[in-house]
Structure 1
């Protein structure tokens, strides 16, 4: 059994009289990719903030591995627009060396943006910058809040593929939030459907037909979007374009690429 990085027991968070997270239990092991899905207001970000130690639980407990290094990728990069800030300076604010910062930027495919202003990045470039900032700490645990936010559909596939690769390279755990199950079907080991409490959890293909999932989201994933997988020998850049040969590995170890048809 791999190392437990985070364990949550009966975690409850209230804001005044409002119940936001209700008796959630969760264990994340090294090497796991867990995706939390749920409607707006389901408590997903609050749960993530509690794992990070930003939010204090009302009751229950959370246990973290000793000396756990966490890399956090927030949903948005909120910066004062009048503040001049280059990608290089933003990365150096992490306290790491320039060489380490450049290496992290190269790994996420945005090393060419070193001198660019963070205010002029596209959605995909910004997310890869935030991921590089998280990677520079060599985390045991990567926490991502809607990592594909503001990224087009092809860029999303490439980004999730990169997250899987980083999990393998770093042998870290990954926990991320997504609104859409179909986007993470091939990228995650386990899905937790949250609506204050855990409605259902399990393998992505099983969750899509779970009655609790259908009750929350209205219909099975397959009814609204066909997801299929195929073998391939190419990779994508941050814009989703084919850039050359390579092998993409899913969380199950099969060589596959997720494509979608409306």
Structure 2
């Protein structure tokens, strides 16, 4: 059995009288890619912050592997608009050496932006910068909140493939939130459907048949996912443009039958 990086047992998070997460149990092992899906207000961000230790559980048990190193990619990068900040400076705020920062930027495909202003980056560039900032820590557990936020459909596919590659290279665990259900089904090992509590969980191929999934997302979504196929025949750059031909891993052509 692979190493358990984080484990939640019957975790509840409550803000005053509002129940946000209700008796959730989950385990993230090294090598896992677990994706949390669910409607707005389902408690997804609160749950991953609890995994990270950024949010205290009201009840239940949270345990993490000793010495666990985490990398967190938040949903939004909020910066003071009048504060000048280059990509170089943003990366150095991690406290890591410049060489490590440059290597992380290169791995996520944005090393050419080292001297660019963070304020002027596109959605795809910003997400890859945030991923590089998490990557420079060499995390055991990579946690991503809507990593493809603000990225077009082809750029999303490339970003999810990069996350899979990083999982393999770092031999880390990955837990992420996503609304991109079709891409999630191709990019993840396990899906957890959350609506305060765990409605259902399992392998992507099975989850779309679960009555709780159908109740949450509707028959139309469930039926389209049930017949979804994922093929690799070209590559995208971080802007979503096709840059290579057939036979390359890390790219995709999406077919709905």
TMscore range, shorter length = over 0.9
Contact kept? 1:158, 1:238, Cα under 8 Å: yes
- When residues 46 and 109 of structure 1 are mapped into structure 2, their CA distance, relative to the original with a 3 A threshold, is same
Partners of 1:118 and 1:102 in 2: CA distance: 15
Shift of 1:132: 0.2
Partners of 2:229 and 2:221 in 1: CA distance: 12
Q: Within the alignment, does 1:204 sit opposite 2:204 as a pair?
A: yes
Partners of 2:180 and 2:135 in 1: CA distance: 25
Contact kept? 1:157, 1:258, Cα under 8 Å: no
1:159-170 maps to which residues of 2 (within 5 A)?
A: 159-170=159-170
1:1-262 maps to which residues of 2 (within 5 A)?
A: 1-221=1-221, 223-224=223-224, 227-232=228-233, 234-244=234-244, 247-248=248-249, 257=252, 259-261=254-256
Deviations 1:53-112 (A, max 9, x none): 111000001110010000000001000000000000000000011110000000000001
Partners of 1:25 and 1:220 in 2: CA distance: 29
Deviations 1:180-225 (A, max 9, x none): 3212111000000000000000011211121100101112535456
Name the SS of the counterpart of 1:186 in structure 2. helix
Partners of 1:152 and 1:49 in 2: CA distance: 26
Partners of 1:231 and 1:157 in 2: CA distance: 10
Partners of 2:183 and 2:199 in 1: CA distance: 19
Name the SS of the counterpart of 1:12 in structure 2. strand
How many correspondences in the alignment?
255
Structure 2: gaps spanning 5 or more residues:
none
Shift of 1:244: 3.2
TM-score between the two structures when normalised by the length of structure 1: 0.93
Partners of 2:224 and 2:5 in 1: CA distance: 35
Indicate the RMSD between aligned Cα atoms, in angstroms. 1.7
Contact kept? 2:32, 2:189, Cα under 8 Å: yes
Deviations 1:23-52 (A, max 9, x none): 001011000000000000000000011111
Contact kept? 1:182, 1:221, Cα under 8 Å: no
Structure 1: gaps spanning 5 or more residues:
250-255
